[in-house]
A and B are shown apart, each in its own frame.
Chain A
Amino acid sequence: MRYWLWMLCFLTADITAAEHKFSGVLDVRASYTDGIDSYVDGGLGKLRYDDGSQFSIAQAGLTYQLALDNGLAAHVTANGYLDGVRDSLGITEAFVKYRGLPSQNGFRVQAKLGLMYPSISLENVATAWSSPYTLSYSTINSWLGEEFRHIGAEVTLEHLGKFTNSQHDFALSAATFQHNDTAGAMLAWHGWTMSSRQTLIQETLPLSNMPSLSGGTLKDQAAGSDPFLELDSRFGYHVKGSWRYKGKGELSAGYYDNNADTLVFENGQYAWRTRFFHIDNKWHLPYKILLLAQYMRGDTLMQSPQGIDVVNNQYQSAYLLLSRRWQQHRLTLRFEKFDVTDNDLTPDDDNNEDGYAMTASYQYRLSKGWFLQAEYNRVDSSRAARVEQGLPYDLIEQQWQLASRWYF
């Protein structure tokens, strides 16, 4: 940690000719949820609000950027939530970015250093990691928002086709990082969710009232998972390749491995070895329809300090999103399929899950930065672990949201 901080200070020392910029998003929502207690507050509900009606500040996000003339820029993003489920305020990202100038033959180097997301989401591209398309993110990106952030370095080498009169750009990126050793715990213990929360850097995520925590197999696990911990001093990595076709879209694929040492256990926190690959496609279809599709598949392993598998899960999720804008109107539909397969023999910790999700969202642009949005979310899932807590095995959760989002 000290090493990364030192590097950050070194890179931001030269603040001559700096340009400052603040940007932000304020998302105020009225919502009605037909479901069970939210995973955000230690329930097994897949949505971010508890059952019933809510009025909330769903996101107050602020980004400060300091850009130097030499291509270096510093970004700090804070997010706040006042939603009656877990009210909090804190940092979500803080990194230094370098973007070199393209060379004569079109190669460009970019680098990022600090606290950041692995670059995977196609949805969360707007201010403070919000999505321009829907209020609730897909299950894949909800998981990234909850358990993925790391402190590390990412280097990207791009080739810009326009230097050679080509329509094709290519990029290859590699990242190495620490502070993501417990990633996988929440996916195992509450399954996939459809949310619009991002875990703040200081937050601990409460686990549900699992019987195995009190005297069972998981009796040594703390009541909450600390998602951005470094337990084993090992480095994880993420590699990704992308192809952009000018005017059409982009296709990318990557592999993530946090490389955690599963024999490490400290203060109630296990190191989880979490690996997955992802395929991402953004394409501009005919009739001005935008398609986003992502698929993720991987596994996660948590062992006792003696090396016995406690949690050994495989998981996958895919979504297909279609969005179309007519002047100030935008309509977005998203369909998802997800599952978790429990491959371990732990009797009191069944993580099997299977489900579908669907989202329909309508956005109306009132002015340059002011949007009204109405959205319906539906998650239809089967999960054995719910039965242990007196909840139904099969469950349909629904949510209606009406939001005013102001971007500046």
Chain B
Amino acid sequence: MGSKGIKKFIPLVGAMIAAIGLPASATEIVVHNADGEPMSGMVVYLQADATNQATKVDTIREPIEIHQYNKQFTPYITVIQKGYQLQFINDDDITHHIYSASGPKRFSFKLKKDNAQKQMLFDETGHISMGCNIHDWMSGHVLVVDTPHFGVTDEQGTVNLEQVADGHYQVVIWHPQLLSQDNIATSVGQWPLSQAMTISVAAPMADIPTQQSLDDFEFLEGY
């Protein structure tokens, strides 16, 4: 996504930056909703301006894994930098049929029981929504970004982005259930941060789907 595209969402989401007294050169970004409550599980990434080429830092620890555990995508959301590999690992004792039905990367493969694995390269940015064609309640998301500076907020709504080179950045917040255009909210920031950056997201969230079947009998045959 170009920076021009991002700029037009700035007024839409009404993002704001608040100052909290912290020591100089902070690394934290805190995401709040309109009621001031921390938003956990939100993807946050920095998009460098055209005038401010992204620095070549490698903050990625490979391999990045998506597990199928207890008939759930774990984690629910995975962020990956363009050009990197993802590893799918089935921890369950049943077969899963993983697919993506939308986004820049379409795939469909079966992962057999007990640690079957599959590695896949993600070389185009965008959002990939995944499901399992055997267990419809399973859902997972991959966001491929073109920056090494990204993370997912913790329970306190906080993410730590380290080794960010000085400069001006778009701060993009993304979640598949964020009810805004393209599921994003954006803000801007000047690095180094003198204190933690707090971003308030005005757009509401849809319910995050529970990855759970209500049928608790394990020997169902899909009649």
A74, chain B: closest CB distance, angstroms: 13
Instruction: Name the one of B101, B137, B206 contacting A103, with C-beta atoms under 8 angstroms.
Output: B101
Are B209 and A125 touching (Cβ within 8 A)? no
List which B172-223 residues lie within 8 A (CB) of chain A. Answer: 177, 206-207, 209-210, 214-221, 223
Interface residues of A, CB < 8 Å — how many? 38
Are B209 and A246 touching (Cβ within 8 A)? yes
B27 interfacial contact with A, CB 8 Å:
no
Are B214 and A104 touching (Cβ within 8 A)? no
A69 to B217, CA, bound (A): 26
A407 to B215, CA, bound (A): 16
Are B218 and A368 touching (Cβ within 8 A)? yes
List which B46-72 residues lie within 8 A (CB) of chain A. Answer: none
A residues in contact with B210, CB < 8 Å: 247
Are A117 and B223 touching (Cβ within 8 A)? yes
B119 interfacial contact with A, CB 8 Å:
no
Are A99 and B101 touching (Cβ within 8 A)? no
List which A129-162 residues lie within 8 A (CB) of chain B. Answer: 129, 132, 160, 162
B99 interfacial contact with A, CB 8 Å:
yes
A219 interfacial contact with B, CB 8 Å:
no
Query: Which partner residue on chain A sits nearest B100 by CB separation?
Result: A101
Given the known interface contacts A103-B101, A162-B209, A247-B214, the answer about A125 and B131 at a Cβ–Cβ threshold of 8 Å is no
A209 interfacial contact with B, CB 8 Å:
no
Are A125 and B112 touching (Cβ within 8 A)? no
Are B220 and A165 touching (Cβ within 8 A)? no
Instruction: Name the one of B108, B133, B177, B220 contacting A132, with C-beta atoms under 8 angstroms.
Output: B220
B3 interfacial contact with A, CB 8 Å:
no
B residues in contact with A106, CB < 8 Å: 101
B60, chain A: closest CB distance, angstroms: 29
B residues in contact with A337, CB < 8 Å: none
B203, chain A: closest CB distance, angstroms: 13
B32 interfacial contact with A, CB 8 Å:
no
Are B219 and A102 touching (Cβ within 8 A)? no
A391 interfacial contact with B, CB 8 Å:
no
Interface residues of B, CB < 8 Å — how many? 28
Are A407 and B219 touching (Cβ within 8 A)? yes
A7 interfacial contact with B, CB 8 Å:
no
Are B223 and A104 touching (Cβ within 8 A)? no
Are B218 and A119 touching (Cβ within 8 A)? no
B residues in contact with A22, CB < 8 Å: none
B156 interfacial contact with A, CB 8 Å:
no
B residues in contact with A249, CB < 8 Å: 214
Given the known interface contacts A19-B95, A23-B219, A126-B221, the answer about A101 and B110 at a Cβ–Cβ threshold of 8 Å is no
Instruction: Name the one of B133, B136, B207, B221 contacting A71, with C-beta atoms under 8 angstroms.
Output: B133
A329, chain B: closest CB distance, angstroms: 12
B residues in contact with A19, CB < 8 Å: 95, 110, 112
A284 interfacial contact with B, CB 8 Å:
yes
B102 interfacial contact with A, CB 8 Å:
yes
Instruction: Name the one of B99, B112, B220, B221 contacting A102, with C-beta atoms under 8 angstroms.
Output: B99
Are A104 and B218 touching (Cβ within 8 A)? no
Are B223 and A163 touching (Cβ within 8 A)? no
A270 to B95, CA, bound (A): 46
Are A63 and B221 touching (Cβ within 8 A)? yes
List which B20-45 residues lie within 8 A (CB) of chain A. Answer: none
A24 to B210, CA, bound (A): 30
A residues in contact with B136, CB < 8 Å: 160, 162, 169
Given the known interface contacts A126-B221, A132-B217, A132-B219, the answer about A104 and B102 at a Cβ–Cβ threshold of 8 Å is yes
Residues 129-158 of B, flagged 1 when their CB comes within 8 A of A and 0 if not, give 101010011010000000000000000000
A284 to B212, CA, bound (A): 14
A325 interfacial contact with B, CB 8 Å:
yes
A127 interfacial contact with B, CB 8 Å:
yes
A245, chain B: closest CB distance, angstroms: 11
A67 interfacial contact with B, CB 8 Å:
yes
A124 interfacial contact with B, CB 8 Å:
yes
Most B CB within 10 A of own CB, among A75, A128, A246: A246
Are A126 and B214 touching (Cβ within 8 A)? no
A369 interfacial contact with B, CB 8 Å:
yes
B residues in contact with A246, CB < 8 Å: 137, 209
A63 to B137, CA, bound (A): 24
A167 to B99, CA, bound (A): 20
Instruction: Name the one of B109, B129, B137, B218 contacting A69, with C-beta atoms under 8 angstroms.
Output: B109
Query: Which partner residue on chain B sits nearest A131 by CB separation?
Result: B217
A25 interfacial contact with B, CB 8 Å:
yes
Query: Which partner residue on chain B sits nearest A103 by CB separation?
Result: B101
A121 interfacial contact with B, CB 8 Å:
yes
> Can you list 11 pairs linking A and B with CB atoms under 8 Å apart?
A19-B95, A25-B219, A126-B221, A160-B131, A163-B129, A165-B177, A167-B207, A169-B136, A284-B214, A369-B218, A369-B219
6 new A-B contacts, CB < 8 A, other than A117-B223, A369-B218, are A119-B223, A125-B220, A126-B220, A160-B136, A162-B209, A165-B206
